[in-house]
Amino acid sequence: MHEMSLAMGVLQIVEDAARAQRFRRVRSVLLEIGELSMVEAEALRFCFDAVSRGTLAEGAALNVVEVAGQGLCFNCNMTVPLAALYDPCPACGGHPVQATGGTEMRVKELEVE
Contact 91, 78 (CB under 8 A): yes
**Which amino acid is it at 30?**
L
Count of other CB atoms within 10 angstroms of residue 84: 10
Give the pLDDT of residue 1.
56
Per-residue pLDDT of the chain (113 residues; tens, 9 = 90+): 589 999 999 999 999 999 999 999 999 999 999 999 999 999 999 999 999 999 999 999 999 999 999 999 999 999 999 999 999 999 999 999 999 999 999 999 999 99
Give the pLDDT of residue 17.
95
**37-to-40, 45, 47, 113 alpha-carbon distances in Å:** 9, 15, 17, 31
Q: Helix, strand or coil for residue 27?
A: strand
Q: Which domains, ranges and CATH numbers included, belong to the chain?
A: 3-112 (3.30.2320.80)
Residue count of the chain = 113
